[in-house]
Each structure stands twice: as structure tokens, then as C-alpha cells.
Structure 1
Amino acid sequence: MKLNVVVYGVVAGSYRTQNLIRSLFDISEINLFYLNPGLLWERPSLWNKIQRMIVELTVVWRSDIIIIPATRHQNPYKYKLAKFFKKQIITDFYISYYDTFVTDRKTIAKESPEAAKHFKLDRNAILSSDRTIFLNGSEAEYYTRLLDIKLSDIRYSIVPLCVDARQKAANPFANGTTDKLTICWWGSYIPLHGLDKIIEAAHLLSKIMSDFEFVLFGNDDEKAMPFRNKIRELGIENFVKIDNSKSFHNGQLEPFLVSRCDIALGGFGDSEKAKNVFLNKVADAFAFGIPVLSMKTKAMDTLLSGDDIVICDNQPQAIVDAVTALKMDRERLKKIGENGYNRYLDTFSYEAFKSRVKGVIQPQLNGN
């Protein structure tokens, strides 16, 4: 008999959860349901609220496995409802809100009631789950330690990032079609990425060479202003450009990276999170076959080999030294790009993701 599996939470805007649902559809031994009754709460009538309660009670009652999708674990009533009906709960623990706002971005004071609330909700999600999914072993250790949970006391699985298949990059510098090195960064303007160090590295590099450019793709003009000002103060406008108009979402970033990008930059932040996690942009670059330069993180030790990526310290001069060495070795650049692409296929592709998801569900299919 097939198992009834319910993905319980919002999917819109979550590429990971969309792929989760896609992969679950490919498992013939289950019936898949998607439950997001939240919109009913936004309607004011009592009847709509009653409808929501009936829908939630019925679907959870008829389920065998409840999956709480990425970033949707801070809803304790969902865990209570699933526990009441004695259902298996799997949580895709994509981020810790406590870590994001308190220890990394530092936008919430550690001793505040709001911080305590995030701590409790994050911790409850893991402890209430029969199995927790983490992106890698490093983040599993980091988040459980942060939330005062012994990793050995919980059941967990590792399901790494999943990114879209991309058109293979031209890698023009590595392939000898240009002598100008184009170095790209993309992401959001948060401390995790160490963007200030990247800009300082460009400044130092401009003193020893001229045939290069840094192109930084962000998503917020207001948050980009401090970085634009720093570029102007350092007098490196001819070497560093900020472009907030191109993104994967609007389809304009991919063509640029395919035709122009020679080196993709990972993260260079100082926080504990920066030293532990695996950034999406690294997996994105692997999918293009673009060589990646990044600081080392503990997550990289669990997912990569030394030939997949170029590692340097998270200091401006170290970035300069690494770029200078790569500029003198086109063959190494080409090889790193090829290795990164193979790592994408083995670890970060949809096929790899689907296989891992089935591995998470398999014990229940076997009756364990």
C-alpha cells in the first residue's frame, strides 16, 4: 500500500521545496499531497477559518509522513497537530532564524525576547521531528550546537543544495579568447559574503595590473549604496561595477555569466555562519563550469575535494594573490572549472537531489 506524504507549508519562492515536490512525485510508492491552507486565514469570515481547520485536520489525519519544507519550521502548531495524530515528521532545516538574525546579521540583540523566541522555535522544530534534513554535515553540527542539541541524539539526513542545470560557460580567459579577466560575484548585500573585502581586493589588484574587472550583481539599490560609495572613495570605478538589474529570476544574469565570467567569487565573511555554511552561489557556479575562488568553510570539507575549487584566506591580499596566480595559469583555471562542473553533476544536480530525497523516505517505505 502506498504511503501518504504531505508537504505542509508554503512553496512559492522556494526553489528547494519546488524540487522537493518534484522529486517526491517521482517516487511511485507514495501518494503526495501539498497542504498550504494559510490563504484561508487571510480571509476574514468565520466560515473560511472553519474550512481551514477542517482541511488541516483531515489531511494531517490521513497522512503517514508530514514534511515541513525549507524555512517553514517556525509554526509550532503544525508539529503539535502532527504529533497529536502520531505522524512521522521530517523537517527540512534549511536555515536557523536565530542564527540568521542574532549571530550572523546581528539585527536582534542576543538577550532580547525576540531572540529567545527564535531560539525556542528553531530548537523545537528539530526536537519535534522524527528526522531532520540538513544541507551538509557542517551545518548539522553548527546549528545543533548553537541550539543546544546533541547531534547524536537526533535522527538526521544530509540533502545538499539543488541548483538548476545551466548552459556551460565559455570561460573566455581560460580558453584564450581574451586577456582581460572578468571576476564576478552575485548575491545579497549581507555580511555573510564579505563584500567589503572583495572591493578592497580589487583596489589592491588595481595597483599591480589593469586588464581585469570585478562585476558585482546584487538585488537592492539602497543596500548597495555603501559599497558604491566605497568604490568611489577608492577611485576604482573603472575596475569595479555594481549591477542590480541582472538576476537569475529575470533571465539576464545567466547570459552574462555564460559569455563573460572567468572566475566566480564565493564568500569571505567573518561570522561563525560564514565559516560553516556552503553558499548557493558556489553550487550555481559549478553548474556553469565556472572556476570558483572562495574562503574555506567547514561545509566544503564535507562536500568537495581540493581540486573542485580554489581556496584562499578571507583577507583582501590573499584574494589578490590567488587571482594573480590564476591569471598566470589558464590551464589550471580550465581544470578547476571542469572539476566544479563534475561536482555539480555528482552532488548538486536535480538527479543527485532526487536520489538523496528518496533515501530519506526509503526507511518509511520499508516499514522502519
Structure 2
Amino acid sequence: MNGVDLVECHASVWSGIEDKSQLIGWRKKIKVILSWIIAYPTLISRFMRLPRYQTVLVPYMGHLDVLLLWPFAKLKGSQVAWDIFISLYNTIVEDRQMFSNTHPVSRLIYVFEWLASRAADRMLMDTRAHADYFVRRYHLPDERLGAVFVGAEVEHFPLLKPLGPKESSEPITILFYGQFIPLHGIRTIVEAARELDDGTVRWVLIGRGQEEGAIRQELDANPVKHLEWLSWVRYQELVDWIARADICLGIFSKSEKAASVIPNKAFQVISSGRPLITRDSPAIRELVSEDEPGIFLVSPEDSPALVDAIKRFRKERPNLVGRPLFENLRKRISAQATGVALCAELGLRYAPDKVMQSGETD
């Protein structure tokens, strides 16, 4: 990896579970928890038998990992780097609002995350805007937090053939996929679909989650004729759905988290070379500009703005036919670019020192 020797110390507790968010039933949950508990002594024993490494990288979700690893890493004189990716407090309490900020569970999550942030020497988020949030929330020095784009797996999301010609009377296909959580602004999408339910647009939604019941009830009461909803498709099949779409959707919530992150789907769609509509935010501006061909940025939770963006895309679509999109963006989110950025953030750019990846989750 860019001149760095990467050694993995890992135990899998999620084997056979493709969608972790849909882990249902006490037996399954207890099995995962027991596997998790058993994994730690094995990991620590394995870690202590390994040579000293300059840096130990703890991946997402590593809140407990980094706390347990900290004393052993200090004994060996290794730097602990933690790829936070998302804040539990921001996600559970502020964005999904599963508990009020005064609830004991919220306070526990905050303390847990505060302690974890003190155990790591270096921490990484997916955008600078997200890192700045974490600095403010936990009163950390700016220099402790870095940012590395998530990027996309090119093997799963290769560059597709450019858009082909289409008759003006043919409907365009708009694709959204992801969890039905507040971050994604599903209601904004449904409102736009209802406004453009005139046969000029075919809407495809793929996903399920927290808001699924409310959205289902709303659509049952007031159906959208040209909307198709699939609860789930295999990860490997997503690129086929992207290929069938004329344009794909990102996120539309007005929450602080939505303003701070670039969703995985945005990287995947860009990697595939399909046009994208998503909310404007400080985070997305770290990657794209509004004048990038094939990118349409809209104000959050604004269904009329989404409708206008779709109409603009229809008008501009002939100019995108046969044209490969996002050449420079695809280079910036490639595995190589992500690796170089990671090495730089860890102080390992083209260095012969070793970095070790530790953790028990996939």
C-alpha cells in the first residue's frame, strides 16, 4: 500500500450477515455479542505477539476496540489511529433522534465516544466538515482529526457506458438506493415523485429502514403511479440498477450530519459515471463544484428544488449522451488516491515503516 507494509490483526464476528442494520431476533444478536466478547482476548493476545508497529489503525466501528487497545499499544510504543467514519452520538441522538439529548442512553453514548476520542492519537473522518463537527462536539485539537474520502470500490462500481440517446417522449429513470433513515430525506424524494408523476419520469427506490413504515403508509394512502419500490437487492447488483438509471439521487436531509458527510452512494455513482442529484453542503463541496457536468446540487428538504433539478437534467441530457463523466473526480476517489491520502494523514507517505490494521469487525 503506497510503500507501507500493512499487516492485519482481525477476527470476524459478522460472518454471514450481509445487512447489519437488519439484525433481528435475540438469538442472532446474542450470537454476535458473544462472538464479539470472545474475539477480544484472541485479538489482544495476537497483537502482543506481533512485532512493534509504528501505527495501529482501528477501523469503523472501533469505539470499544480503541479503548481496549490503548494500554497495549502504549506498552508497545505504537501510535493508535482510529477511522471513526461516523459519530454514534451524532447518528443515534442528533440525526435519527432515537433518544432525546437528555436521555440517560444519550449521555452514556456521549461519554463512551468522548472516552474513545481520548484513547486515539490520530482520528480520521470522511470529510473535513465531518472532522470539524467532531472537534467541536468533543472539544478536541484540530490537529488530532484528519479527513480521507471514503471513495468507491471500482471492482463493484466500474465506469459504465455513457448515457445513450433517448426519445424526448421516453421517460427518464431516477434511482435512489439506501437505508430509509432521516439522513437520506426520503420524504423529499416521494414529494418530488408525486409532483412529477406524469409519466415523464420513472422512479425506482431501493431500501428499507427506520422510516419505512411511515413512507409505506403514506404511499398506500396516496400512491405514486410511476414509482417502484424494492426493499432490498444484493450489493453486487447495485451497479446493474445504476446502469439502468439515467440519473441517481444522493441525500436531501437538512440535518447537520447530512451537511457534514458525502454518502457512499455518491462515490459509487460518480465511480460508475452516472449523473447525480444531491443536497448542497460544505461536505459535497469538498469533492465537486456546481458547474461539474452531470452534478446537480439542490437545497435540502426542498422537493420543488429537486423537481427543478430533474427538469434541468432532462434539458441537458442530450449534451451528456456518449460522454464519459467525472474523469478527474474518479481519479480523486480511486483506491490509490485514498491510500495516498490515508498515508499522508498518518504520516506514512511512501514510508518504509509498517502500519497495522486492528479490529474485529468487517
Q: Which category of TM-score, normalised to the shorter sequence, fits these structures?
A: 0.7 to 0.9
Name the residue aligned to 2:86: 95
Q: Is the 8 A contact 1:171 1:261 kept in 2?
A: no
Name the residue aligned to 1:240: 227
Range with bigger deviation, 222-231 or 115-124: 222-231
Name the residue aligned to 1:32: 7
CA shift, 1:183, in A, is 0.5
What is the alpha-carbon distance in structure 2 between the residues aligned to residue 280 and residue 53 of structure 1? 31
Q: Matched residue pairs, number?
A: 328
What is the alpha-carbon distance in structure 1 between the residues aligned to residue 162 and residue 199 of structure 2? 19
> Is residue 158 from structure 1 mapped to residue 147 from structure 2 by the alignment?
yes
User: Normalised by the size of structure 1, how large is the TM-score?
Assistant: 0.78
- Please give the residue correspondences for 1:277-356 in structure 2 after superposition, counting only pairs within 5 Å: 277-308=261-292, 309-314=295-300, 315-334=302-321, 338-343=324-329, 345-356=330-341
Change (3 A) 1:283 1:31: closer
Change (3 A) 1:115 1:84: farther
SS of residue in 2 equivalent to 1:300: helix
Q: Deviations over 1:218-269 (max 9, x none)?
A: 145x953432332232231x2111112423x2x33322221x2011111111
> Is residue 180 from structure 1 mapped to residue 177 from structure 2 by the alignment?
no
What is the alpha-carbon distance in structure 2 between the residues aligned to residue 324 and residue 51 of structure 1? 57
Q: Which amino acid aligns with 1:312?
A: V
Change (3 A) 1:356 1:234: same
Change (3 A) 1:73 1:334: farther
Q: Deviations over 1:146-183 (max 9, x none)?
A: 223242xx3333210121112433454x6336721100
> Is residue 132 from structure 1 mapped to residue 107 from structure 2 by the alignment?
no
SS of residue in 1 equivalent to 2:63: coil
CA shift, 1:96, in A, is 0.6
CA shift, 1:103, in A, is 0.5
SS of residue in 2 equivalent to 1:305: coil
CA shift, 1:53, in A, is 5.2
User: Normalised by the size of structure 2, how large is the TM-score?
Assistant: 0.80
CA shift, 1:37, in A, is 8.9
CA shift, 1:322, in A, is 1.3
What is the alpha-carbon distance in structure 2 between the residues aligned to residue 98 and residue 111 of structure 1? 12
Q: Which runs of 5 or more structure 2 residues have no equivalent in the other structure?
A: 15-32, 354-362
RMSD: 3.2
Alignment equivalent of 1:86, drawn from 57, 67, 77: 77
What is the alpha-carbon distance in structure 2 between the residues aligned to residue 67 and residue 53 of structure 1? 14
Change (3 A) 1:216 1:361: same
What is the alpha-carbon distance in structure 2 between the residues aligned to residue 300 and residue 306 of structure 1? 10
What is the alpha-carbon distance in structure 1 between the residues aligned to residue 122 and residue 269 of structure 2? 30
What is the alpha-carbon distance in structure 1 between the residues aligned to residue 126 and residue 147 of structure 2? 6
CA shift, 1:73, in A, is 2.5
Higher relative contact order (CA 8 A, sep 6+): 2
Q: What is the aligned-residue identity percentage? A: 22
Q: Which runs of 5 or more structure 1 residues have no equivalent in the other structure?
A: 1-25
Change (3 A) 1:50 1:67: closer
Q: Which amino acid aligns with 1:240?
A: L
What is the alpha-carbon distance in structure 2 between the residues aligned to residue 212 and residue 147 of structure 1? 45
What is the alpha-carbon distance in structure 2 between the residues aligned to residue 341 and residue 160 of structure 1? 17
> Is residue 230 from structure 1 mapped to residue 197 from structure 2 by the alignment?
no
Q: Is the 8 A contact 1:182 1:214 kept in 2?
A: yes
Alignment equivalent of 2:134, drawn from 143, 146, 149: 143
CA shift, 1:338, in A, is 4.0
Q: Is the 8 A contact 1:37 1:56 kept in 2?
A: no
Name the residue aligned to 1:62: 52
